[in-house]
Each structure stands twice: as structure tokens, then as C-alpha cells.
Chain A
Amino acid sequence: MMLTYLRQTTSLNNLRSKRSSGQIATLLILAMVVVLVMILVTVNLGQLSLTATTLSNAADSASLLLASQLATKSRVFWETLGGTTRKETTEGWGTWDWVELVVMVVIAVVMTLLCNICSHGFWALVVSATLAAANKLYQFSVAQDMRAEAFTAIAKSLSGLPERWGIREGVVFLALTQTVADPRKMADTNDSDGNGNTTEKVPVFQDWYYRRVIALKEVLSPLAGEINNFINGPLTSFSDFATKQYTQYQVPFETWDDGGYTTVYTTATGPFYTAPESGGQDGNVIELVKAIEIPVPDIVSVLQVFAGLATSLKAQNYSDRLLESWESWIKWFYNDDVDTDYYDTLKTNLVADLDNLKAAIESKRTQLAQCNYQWQSCITDYDGLPQCTSCTPPICPEYAYKTESTNSPCQDGSFGTIDTDLDDEFAAAQASIDALLVGIEGFRNSILTFYNYMNDLLASISMSTSGGLNPVTYSWPDALCADDSDCHSISVDVSHFELAWIESGDECTERSLGMMGLIGGGMCTERKYWLELKDYTDNGDNTRVKITRADQPDAAKTGVGALGSFNPFGKGEITKVSKAAYSYNYVNIVGKE
């Protein structure tokens, strides 16, 4: 009865009816629909603005935290050097100057060590205080559900990481706690806040981050070690091997001289060295292919890539910088998705070219003319000296032998030569190519072994379980997500940054006159010693934090609700970037996106 009355009152038919009752109610309901739509749009815009502001705040505070920690370290060293970035002294100083310098060095070393282990105290305090402050300031995130003891426990846990990673993870943690809006809770079975209570309910994020730090601690050291091993082992070996393929190099060997062994050097030539037209070395491939007039493949330019690769990677701080960017540079070597990595191009280009070259050389050899030889026979005369005479088969004694070929390049059975002596340059060249092929295959296997080992290690810190190395991603589900999917995510990317350090060195500033009055040949009479503060400032390019929030709700569930299809930004992502410059005396935000 009531429903019937309501339906009659609100029916649009009332507007066409001559009946007076219900017409105004219908109009009001129509008006309310319009007003509700406007309210929904306003709420959506407000939500979007709030999310963007939260991300901006998080990015700014994270970049400031990063720059602040780096600036603090710079300041410590700057104070150590007596309020300067370069401290110099010369041998002409008095005793107390020397004492001062020695004390400076000792203090600098101690401060460096302290800052390396300061994570056990100072940095933990800084991070903990910052996170606690952030917790009070920003209430639209998991931070509001995390107790202060959880922040302290995680800050302490971060202190066990290597210094650079401790700083980075502190920044990541700050950014995530301000932006992750995962409402889920779980029993604290891992005691992530260290209070001994394993039955209390804590945010899922808190437990996730606790497990991430543990995984990081377990994996960082072996990862860095394996990168070190790969670069100094297989990569350096192959780099040297590749270089020797197309250059001349010195080979040491020991010789007996004056009652002792002496090391002397002889020049060796790589098989792909661009040899002179004649007088080369047996086994030189380039000389052979020129002599038999087949195209010279471009092997050298490919080898040159690897010759410079180890050097360029070693030039970096590979134990750290290469670790954090491993996922990008390993793709040069191995990438399942494309065929342009070194692992594939070595096979498809270099190995294929070398196989073709081997076939072309053998094919050309079989087409060469039969070798004509110079024969000679030798007998020993009455004085015991050999007496040799040339002969031409079949008019040759049985003991006659071949001395040289007269129509090179030529072939004879499996033999081939390009010069007059009877060395088989074809076999030697094929052996050189085979050696290169073996070297390439060995290096390819090393790449694959390295890649698989790293992947196995990284599985424990993978994107899906622990968020990845850098960027770090945390995902969570809610009612708008498709079944069993985490459709909301926050990704924090911290740029590579440098830590301040002190470089020491010395140089001769004055020399005595050498023999015959020549300058430069004498003893150093004055030497300058110096300590210099390095990497103590940055313009923001290396202290950059990027935070991305991505929302991919289920399309079937977003047709209703204030954040549903009315919201043009309901699906997609918002990215905020903040850059902070620092030195030993300031920290400023200098850029944002």
C-alpha cells in the first residue's frame, strides 16, 4: 500500500496528469538527481585533489629526508675538516701542524666509520623521529594504524642494512607510510613491532615491510658479491680475450740469463689483427681471408664492444650502483623478451658470422689449385756437412722432401697454404676461429649462469612478494578490485645518490735542481698533502623521489559509487616527483613534477 502510494507520488506520469497531488514531489526528485550528480563530481574532484596532495607531500618529505641525511653526513665531514672542503698542508709545516693533520685524518676516518655504522644509533634516531612526526602530520594512510613502537622497530631494523640501503629504505618507508591506504589488518605473528605480542592486530603493510627488510638483509650481500664476481671474473676475462683477438699485445716468458731467470716480453698478434699484406703470423684470420680473396666479416667491431664493457662497468661503484640498477643493465646481457641482448647477438651475429667464415674458408681452400712443391735431397759430405740439391719428382731420391710450395695460395688434400713455407695457415686460422667460438660460448654460459643466480636470489625480494629493489611497489586490494587482485598500488622510486667522503692525496710542489742543473730531475723538496671533501653537495638530480599511485579497479564494479564511473581519474595513475638540493649548510626542495 505504502509502496504503491510512493510509486504514484514519484511517477513521471504525474507531470502529464491533470491531478494536482504528487507533481511537486516529482519535480523535486528530478532536481535532487541533478544536485546529487553535482555532489558526486565535487566529491570525486576533492578526492583526486586530496590524493594528489598526499602524494606531493609524501614526495617532498621523502626527498627532504633523503637530502637531509646526506647533508648531515656532509656536515660531519665538513666540520671534521675544520669548516672547509679542502684541507692542505706541506712538509714545511711545524710539528703541531702535522699533529693537526694526523688528528684530522684520524677523526675523518673515525667519523666515516661511525657514519657507516651510525645506522645503529644516529640514523635510526633520525629516521624514527621523522617517521613519528610524519605519523602525526599525515593521517590519510596506514601510518594512522601503526603504533610508534612499530616505527621504532622498523627504523632499528633498517639500521642493519648497508649505509646506502639504510638511507634509501628509510626514505621509501616514509613515502609508503604516508601514501599507502590499505585498511587490512592481520595478527602480528612475526612480531613486527618488537613488543612481544604476536596476537595483536597490525596493518598488513607493517608486516609486509618488516618481512621486506629481512629479505633485503639476506639478499643484498650475496647480490653485490655475485655482481662483483661476474664483472671481475667472466666479463673481465672475456673482455681481455676479446681485446687480444684484434690487437698486438705483450706476452711474458722467462729466460735463463746470467745464472737466473729473467722475464722478457715478446709481441703476440691476435688472429683478427689487421695484419700487413704479407709477413703476418700463421693463424691470422684477416691475412688469410685477404690472401684468398673472400669478404672480411666485421668481427672486430663486435669484439670492441666487449673490450670496453668491463672497463665502463668497473668505472662505476659496481658493488652498489650496479646492484640497485641491476634490473636495467642486465638486460644488455640477457633479456628473455628481445633478441638484441648480448647473449643472443653473440649467437646470432658473431657465432653465425664465424661459422660462415669457417665454411667460406674451407670452401675456398678446396677450390684452390693443387700445390706444386720445391723438392730437395740432402746428403752428408766427408766433412759431415749437408749437401742439398733441388730435384723434381719423379726424378728424386727416396729421401727427398718438400721444402716450399711454388704456387701459393694452394691446397693439397686437407692442407692449404697462402705463402711459400709448408705451414698450414688454413688449419691455423680455423683453430683461431674455433678458439674464439669456444671463448664466446663460455662467456654466453657465464651470462646465463649469472642471470639465473641473480634471479633466484632476487626472487626473495621480487616485486610480487617484497616490492622489488628500486622502485619499491606495494599493492593492496579493496572492494572495487577484481577477485583476488591487488588493484591499488604505490610505487616509490629513489634516485641513485652519492654519499659524502673524504679523499686524501699528495703531490710534489717543488723539486731540487737535478744533475747538470736540469730542472725536474731532482728530489722532491716540498710535498703538499691534502684532504678533500667529495660528493658533499647535489643540485637535486641525484636526490629525487618519484611516487606513483596506480588504481586499476574492476570495470564491472566501478559503475556505481562516488569514486566510480563519474570519476574520470578513477582508473589510471598519479605521479609526483620531488627533487631536493643539499650541501653541508642547506637543504632545499628545488624541483617538482
Chain B
Amino acid sequence: MVRLTTHDPRPTTQTAQATLEITLALISVLLLLLGSLKLFLWVNQRLVQRHQDYENSRVSAGTSFSETQVDETAYPELNIFGK
């Protein structure tokens, strides 16, 4: 029977410590990425919707009695950790 693992000169406690740290770090980085992705999508959706609203308001804004207001409550909310 041949062992496929290489020899690790470190004590077992140190190896476990590294595994624990890398696990926590992976989770943190993953959360960071997910949060960034959510933020990225939210910012860009808002940019697009605001621009669309602006374009749609051009004609009414150029009239004498315009009362058009942009409804910001219709924009997507920022939910980093989900609803």
C-alpha cells in the first residue's frame, strides 16, 4: 500500500490551524465577493433605471406645467444578505 500524501514536516496542530484559517478566509472572501456582486448589480440597475426615467421625463420637463416626479420607491433596494 503506497501513501499518496507528501510528508508534511509541521506538527499536526499547525496543519489544523492553517486549515481552519483558510476555511474561514475562504468563507470571508466568498461573502465579500457575493456582497460586491450584489452591490454591483444594485448600482448598475439603479443607473439604468434612473437614466430611463430621465429620458422618459424629458418631454414633460420641457413643458410649462410639468408635474412629473421620479418615483424612487420603484427602484430596486439594496439587500446584501437577501430579503
Contacts and interface: CB of A to CB of B under 8 A. Distances in A.
Interface of A: 18, 20, 23-24, 27-28, 30-31, 34-35, 38-39, 41-42, 45-46, 49, 52-53, 56, 60, 64, 578, 580, 586-592
A373 to B, nearest CB: 86
Nearest to B19: A20
Contacts of B17: 20
Contacts of B15: 18
B18 A588 contact: no
Interface string B3-26: 000101010001101100110011
B33 interface: yes
A42 B36 CA distance: 12
Interface in B33-83: 33, 36-37, 40, 43-44, 47-48, 50-51, 54-55, 58-59, 61-64
List the 3 closest A-B pairs by CB distance, nearest first.
Answer: A589-B62, A20-B18, A38-B40
Nearest to A28: B29
B73 to A, nearest CB: 21
A242 to B, nearest CB: 49
Contact of B61 (A23, A46, A589): A589
A592 B25 contact: no
Given A31-B33, A45-B44, A53-B51, A60 B58 contact: yes
A34 B33 CA distance: 8
A38 B38 CA distance: 11
A56 B44 contact: no
A432 to B, nearest CB: 62
Contacts of B21: 20, 24
A580 B18 CA distance: 69
Nearest to A586: B64
B26 A27 contact: yes
B18 to A, nearest CB: 4
B59 A589 contact: yes
A586 B10 CA distance: 85
A589 B54 CA distance: 14
Nearest to B52: A49
Given A49-B47, A586-B64, A23 B22 contact: yes
A31 B29 CA distance: 7
A575 B62 CA distance: 19
A326 B83 CA distance: 63
B51 A52 contact: yes
Contacts of A591: 59
Q: Which of B8, B37, B44, B64 is the most central at the interface, judged by chain A CB atoms within 10 Å of its CB?
A: B44
21 contacts: A18-B10, A20-B14, A20-B17, A20-B21, A27-B25, A27-B29, A34-B33, A35-B32, A42-B47, A45-B44, A45-B47, A49-B48, A52-B51, A60-B61, A64-B62, A578-B62, A586-B64, A588-B64, A590-B62, A592-B55, A592-B58
A24 B44 CA distance: 30
Contacts of A46: 47
B5 to A, nearest CB: 10
Contacts of B48: 45, 49
A38 B63 contact: no
B62 A56 contact: no
Given A34-B36, A46-B47, A56-B55, A24 B6 contact: no
A30 B37 CA distance: 14
- The range of chain B's interface size is 20 to 34
A24 B22 contact: yes
Contacts of B64: 586-588
B40 A41 contact: yes
A495 to B, nearest CB: 16
Given A24-B22, A24-B25, A42-B43, A56 B58 contact: yes
A578 to B, nearest CB: 7
Nearest to A53: B54
Contacts of A18: 6, 8, 10, 15, 18
A64 B55 CA distance: 16
Contacts of B36: 31, 34-35, 38
A42 B40 CA distance: 7
Contacts of A31: 29, 32-33, 36
Contacts of B59: 589-592
Nearest to A37: B40
A437 to B, nearest CB: 58
A41 to B, nearest CB: 7
A42 B44 contact: yes
B58 A589 contact: yes
Contacts of B25: 23-24, 27
A592 B9 CA distance: 73
A105 to B, nearest CB: 33
B41 to A, nearest CB: 9
Contacts of A587: 64
A15 B29 CA distance: 14
A588 B58 CA distance: 11
Q: Which of A39, A60, A578, A588 is the most central at the interface, judged by chain B CB atoms within 10 Å of its CB?
A: A588
A254 to B, nearest CB: 66
A138 to B, nearest CB: 15
Given A27-B25, A580-B62, A588-B63, 7 more contacts: A31-B32, A35-B32, A42-B40, A49-B50, A56-B54, A588-B64, A590-B62
Q: Which of A27, A39, A590 is the most central at the interface, judged by chain B CB atoms within 10 Å of its CB?
A: A27
A46 B47 CA distance: 7
Given A24-B21, A60-B58, A49 B51 contact: yes
Contact of A35 (B6, B33, B47, B50): B33
A589 B51 CA distance: 18
A522 to B, nearest CB: 53
A67 B33 CA distance: 52
A526 B44 CA distance: 74
Contacts of B32: 31, 35
